Amino acid sequence: MSLYPGGACMSDSVNDRIRTLVCDQLGVADADLTGDANILEDLGADSLDVVELVMAIEEAFEIEIADEEAENLKTLGDVERFVSERVAA
């Protein structure tokens, strides 16, 4: 996958881009990424990791995620659904 300035990708799905960001930000293997993987408990993120991940997603998809919205994103599936809805809107 190639990320270009502004986070634009060619021919990759939203979920693929999110999973790449999660792997890069949290240093986890793609095999560990399931829709029900809890970002804090299963993927080992701490609060700073979560902030950095949210910022990376905002930049990559050119969206804004309010703090209240970010608090509700507990699993990878939550993140994928949220971003997919925002990008499609």
What is the SS3 assignment for 48? helix
Phi then psi dihedrals of residue 38, to 5 deg: -75, 130
Q: Of 30, 42, 46, 67, which residue is the catalytic one?
A: 46
SS3 (DSSP) at 75: strand
Q: Which of 23, 34, 31 is nearest to 80 (CA)?
A: 34
Catalytic, 12? Answer no
Supply the residues annotated as catalytic. Answer: 46
